[in-house]
Structure 1
Amino acid sequence: MGIGIRTRGTRSTHMDAVAVTAATPATRDRYMDLLRVASLATVVLGHWLMAAVSVGADGTAGVGNLLAIRPGLQPLTWVLQVMPVFFFVGGFSHALSYRSVSRKLAGRGVYAAFLRARLQRLLRPTAVFVVVWGAGALIQQLTDSGGDLAGVAARLVAQPLWFIGIYLAMVAFTPPLLRLHERCGWWAFAGLVGAAAAVDVLRFAGGVPYVPFLNFAFVWLAVHQLGFLRADGKLTRPALLAVAGLAGAAVLVAFGPYPLSMVGMPGERISNMAPPTFALLCHGMWLVGAVELLRKPAARLLERPRAWRAVVVANGIAMTAFLWHLTAMLGVYAVMLAAGLGLPAPGSGAWWAQVPPRMAVAAGLTAALVALFRRAERPPAARPPAPPARWSGPVAALGVALALFGVLGLSIVGFGGLLEGHTAVLIAVRITAPTAVAMALAGWALVEAAGGTVRIRRTGAGTHPH
C-alpha cells in the first residue's frame, strides 16, 4: 500500500507522520532517507556559514565567501561538501523506482511515467521558487527599490539551482545507465571513473577547450552509479572505497593542479566544482564509503519511532527548505542592515559570536517560508489510469532537457537585471534570465503533461519513494 505525507497544518502533519511510521515496510532502507535529509541540512548550514555579508567603505553591501576570507577553514569542505552523498542516495532511489514503474506498466510509457514520478516533487517547488523570485526581481527593477543587498540576493539565491539541474540529468539518464549497471556491475562505475580521469588529462595536460564540461556528466554520474551498486547489495567494502577516495583526493591536491577546497572559491583559476574534477570524484568516493561505514549504528537508531518520524517529516519539506534557505539568510542580513545593527568583519571574533543567533533566526524564517510554500511539495492527487500516449517518452525527454538547461542557466545568470539583457555563458551558449525562466517552466509543464496519462503508486516516506 502506498504511504505519504499530507502537509496541511502542524497537527495534520504530525498525525500523518505517525501513520507513515506505522505503515513503513520492514524492508525499507531508512538509512538512505536519513542520508538525504542530513546531506541537504549540511548544505543549508554550510551556505549560511559561508555567506559573509559586509558593508564597504562606500556604504555598499556585498556578499563574500567566508572560506575565501579565511582560507584556513577550507579543509572543512572535505567533510561538509556532501552533495555527492545526495546524488548517491538518488542513484539508490532511482534504481528501485525505475524497476517498480517497469513492473507496473510493463510496456509503453515507462520512461515518461518514471520521470513524472521522480520529478513531481522536485520541479513543482522549483517552479514556485522561480515564479516568486522572478516576479519579485521584476518588481524590484521596475520600482528601483530594495537597495544593494536585494540586487545581490537576486543573483545569489539562484546559485543552488545548479544542483537541481544535475539531478534532472541523473534522472533522465537512469534507464540506460541502470541497464549498463545490470550488465557490467562495478565495470560500469569504473568506466565512468576512467572517463572522468581522461577528461582531466585532456584539460590540464592538453589544454583541450570545452572538454572539461563533460565531467559535469562523468563525475556526478559515477557517484550516482554507486547508488545503483548500493541498491543491489554490491557495495560491500565501504572502507576500501573510503580509503581509496581519500588517498586519491589527497594525492591529487598535494601534487596536481587541484585546489584544496572542494567547493568553488570566488576568483580562483581552477575550481573542483565548476566543472567538476577528478579530485571531486575521489572526494565523493571517500564520502560514500564513510557514510556506509555508519550505516549499521544509524539503522539501529532509526528503528526508534520518534527518530524515524523526524526523518519522515523532514523529508516532506526538505526540497522547499533547500530552495528558500538563502532567501532566509539574506533576509536576516537585510533586517540587520535596516535596523542599523553592526556587521563585524567576516571571520572576526565578533562575527563568530553573531553566528548562533543569526542562524537561529534564519532557521525560523526558513520555517516560515516552508509553511508558506510547502504545498508545492505535496504529492498531487492520483489521476485515473489511461493508455500511455506514443509521444509521452519524447515529450518527457524534451521537458527534462528544457528544465535542466533552464535551471542551470538561472544558477549562473540569476534573477538580477531581468529587463536589462544580462547574459551568462552556459557551456558555450549565452543565456538570459528570462530565457532561463521560460525554459525551466516549459520543461516542468512538458514533464507533467507527458507523464500524466498513467497512475503510479507511491511508496515510502518523503520525496524519494524506494
Structure 2
Amino acid sequence: MRGMERNGGGREPYVDFLRAWAILLVVVGHWVITGLVRLPDGEISAPELLATVPWTQWLTLGFQIMPLFFLAGGYAAGGSWERARAGGGTASGWVGQRAVRLLLPVAVYSGLVLLAVGVCAAVGVDPGTLAMVGWAMAMQIWFLPVYLLLSALTPVLCALHRRWGLYVPLGMGVVASGVGWLVVRGEGGGVIDVVGAVNYLLVWGVVYQLGFCWRDGLLGGRRRGLPLALAVGGGVGFAVLVGPGPWPVSLILVTGQDVSNTNPPSVAMLAWAVAQVGLCLLVASRVRRVLERVRVARAVRGLGGVSMTLYLWHMLPVLVVAAAFYLTDLAPEPRYGSAGWWALRMPWLLVLGAVLAGVVRGLRPLERRLAGLEGRLRPGVGLRWAAAWRVWAGIGVSVWVLTYFAGHGFAYGGRFPVAASVGLVVGTGLVLFPGRTRAGVPAVESGGVLEEAA
C-alpha cells in the first residue's frame, strides 16, 4: 500500500491501516459465510448462509467494509491526480496509468480462471458444479468496475471538489437517496433497473468524494464535531431505514429478499457508509498511536504489499479445501448452521489462511513479472488526445466485461463465456497499448491500485 499522503506530503499510516483492515475483513467475511455440504451423491453444495440462517445477516454490519476501500481510494486518487495535474499531466494519461495498474493483475487472474474453466468444460465437468465454482471465483469482482469508473471520473470529481467541497458528496447523497426510494417503490425491471444502477456510482462516489475532503482537512480542524455527526447521523439513519423503513438489515445480497442493500446500493447502505466514515475519523488518533509501534507498522506494510493478490485469490483456498477434505469425505460435517458447525469455523478459517499464505507465496514470481510489465506498458501521464481514445475505449469495454463477470461468474450456465473473454482481451489491450506522450511529465506513483487506493 503506497502512495497515500497527507496534505502536501508524507505517508498517512492510518490510511494504510484502514486498507489492511478492510482486506482482512473482506477475506474473513467471505470465508465465514461460505459453508460446504457434501451431498449423498458425492457432490459438493454451498448453501447460502445468510438465507439459510437468517440471524447471520446481522454479521454483515461488521463485515461490510467496502466504504473503507472507497474512502482510501478517494484520499489517494485525489492527491495523485493533483500532483500529476500540477506537473502538466493530462487526464487521459493519468487515468490510463491507474487503469493499467488495476486491469493488468485482474486480466491475469481472470485469464487463469477462464483457462481452468475452458479445460474443465472440455473434459466434461458437470455444468452445475462449474457454474458454482465460476461464481465463487468471481464474487469479489463487483468492486472493480465501480472503482474503475470512479478512477476515470477522478479529474472531474476533483474539479467539483475544488469548487464546492463538502457540498459535492452532500448533493450526491441527496440524489442517491432519491434514486433509492424510487427503486424500492418501483416494481423493478426496465427503466427502474437502469436508474437504480446509477447508485453504484452515487453511493460509493459519496464515500470516494469524502476521501478528497478528508485529505484536504474538510472533515477535521474547525469541524471537529463533523466526524461525530457523521457517525451518529449515519447510524441513526440506518436504524430507522432498516427498522420501520423498508430495507433489510443485511448489507450483502440475500437470495429471496425483494429489497436489497447492495443491488443496487441503497439509502441504508449509504447511511451505514457515512456512519463508518465518521467512526474511522473518530478513532483515528488512538489507532495512530498504536501504529507507531514498529511491529504493527511492519505488519500493515506487509499486508499492503500483497493486498491485490489477497483480494483476487482469496476464494481459491475454498476450492482447494473442498477437494482435499470434502470430496474425500474427510471433513466432519455437523448439521449446517448448528453449534457444532460454528465451532468448526475457527479451524476452517485457519486452514484456509494457511492455504492462502501458500498461494500468495507461490504467486510472488508472477507479481514481480507483472510489476515490470506494468512499468513498460503503461501510458505516459502526458498522453496526447490523439491516442487517448484507446484508454477510454478500453475502460468502457473493461467495465462491461467486469460487470458481466460480477453478475454471472466465470462460467454462467456451466459454459465458457466466449464474448466476455474476448472483451477482456480487447479492453485490457486497448488500455495497455502505449500512446504518444509529452516528455518531462512525471508518472503516477508506483504500486498497485488496491495497495495504493483500495
TM-score of the aligned structures, taking structure 2 as reference length: 0.87
Kindly report which structure 2 residues correspond to 1:65-76, keeping only aligned pairs within 5 A, or say none.
65-76=48-59
Q: Could you tell me how far 1:113 is from its partner in structure 2? A: 2.6
1:446 to 394, 416, 430: 430
Q: Could you tell me how far 1:345 is from its partner in structure 2? A: 2.5
Q: 1:418 to 1:136 in 2, by over 3 A?
A: farther
Q: Could you tell me how far 1:153 is from its partner in structure 2? A: 1.1
The equivalent residue for 2:215 is 231
Secondary structure of the corresponding residue to residue 112 of structure 1: helix
Native 8 Å contact 1:317 1:377 kept in 2: no
CA deviation profile, 1:184-214 (whole Å, cap 9, x unmatched): 1111111101111111232233556222111
Q: Could you tell me how far 1:61 is from its partner in structure 2? A: 2.1
Letter in 2 for 1:130: S
The equivalent residue for 1:426 is none
Flag structure 1 segments of 5+ consecutive residues without an equivalent.
Answer: 6-24, 422-432
Native 8 Å contact 1:60 1:148 kept in 2: no
Native 8 Å contact 1:153 1:327 kept in 2: no
The equivalent residue for 2:64 is 81
Kindly report which structure 2 residues correspond to 1:212-223, keeping only aligned pairs within 5 A, or say none.
212-223=196-207
The equivalent residue for 1:309 is 298
Matched residues in 2 for 1:439 and 1:418: separation? 19
Question: Is 1:463 paired with 2:451?
Answer: yes
Letter in 2 for 1:456: A
CA deviation profile, 1:226-270 (whole Å, cap 9, x unmatched): 111111111122111011111111101112221111111122211
The equivalent residue for 2:337 is 347
Native 8 Å contact 2:93 2:382 kept in 1: no
Letter in 2 for 1:345: R
Question: Is 1:300 paired with 2:289?
Answer: yes
Native 8 Å contact 1:258 1:271 kept in 2: yes
Q: 1:230 to 1:336 in 2, by over 3 A?
A: same
Q: Could you tell me how far 1:151 is from its partner in structure 2? A: 4.3
CA deviation profile, 1:74-97 (whole Å, cap 9, x unmatched): 222122200111111111111011
Native 8 Å contact 1:410 1:437 kept in 2: no
Letter in 2 for 1:163: F
Q: Percent identity?
A: 31
Q: 1:64 to 1:450 in 2, by over 3 A?
A: farther
Matched residues in 2 for 1:151 and 1:128: separation? 20
Q: Could you tell me how far 1:4 is from its partner in structure 2? A: 7.0
The equivalent residue for 2:80 is 97
Secondary structure of the corresponding residue to residue 161 of structure 1: coil
Native 8 Å contact 1:125 1:374 kept in 2: no
Question: Is 1:437 paired with 2:421?
Answer: yes
The equivalent residue for 1:397 is 392
Native 8 Å contact 2:397 2:423 kept in 1: yes
CA deviation profile, 1:407-450 (whole Å, cap 9, x unmatched): 110111212258847xxxxxxxxxxx322222233222222225
Q: 1:161 to 1:457 in 2, by over 3 A?
A: closer
Q: 1:460 to 1:165 in 2, by over 3 A?
A: closer
Secondary structure of the corresponding residue to residue 276 of structure 1: coil
Matched residues in 2 for 1:395 and 1:386: separation? 14
Q: Could you tell me how far 1:457 is from its partner in structure 2? A: 5.4
Q: 1:60 to 1:112 in 2, by over 3 A?
A: same
Kindly report which structure 2 residues correspond to 1:106-121, keeping only aligned pairs within 5 A, or say none.
106-107=88-89, 110-121=90-101
Q: 1:375 to 1:195 in 2, by over 3 A?
A: farther
Q: Could you tell me how far 1:363 is from its partner in structure 2? A: 1.2
Q: Could you tell me how far 1:286 is from its partner in structure 2? A: 0.8
Matched residues in 2 for 1:441 and 1:119: separation? 14
Letter in 1 for 2:387: S
Matched residues in 2 for 1:294 and 1:4: separation? 22
The equivalent residue for 1:380 is 372
Higher relative contact order by CA 8 Å / sep ≥ 6: 1 or 2? 2
Native 8 Å contact 2:128 2:413 kept in 1: no
Flag structure 2 segments of 5+ consecutive residues without an equivalent.
Answer: 221-225
2:314 to 320, 325, 344: 325
Matched residues in 1 for 2:396 and 2:166: separation? 28
The equivalent residue for 2:24 is 41
CA deviation profile, 1:120-164 (whole Å, cap 9, x unmatched): 332222111111110101100110147965542122211210011
Aligned length: 431
CA deviation profile, 1:35-87 (whole Å, cap 9, x unmatched): 11111110110000001111345543211222222211222212220011111
Letter in 2 for 1:372: G
The alignment yields a C-alpha RMSD, in angstroms, of 2.7
Letter in 2 for 1:370: V
Letter in 1 for 2:337: G
Letter in 1 for 2:349: M
Letter in 2 for 1:226: L
Native 8 Å contact 1:459 1:465 kept in 2: no
Matched residues in 2 for 1:463 and 1:437: separation? 26
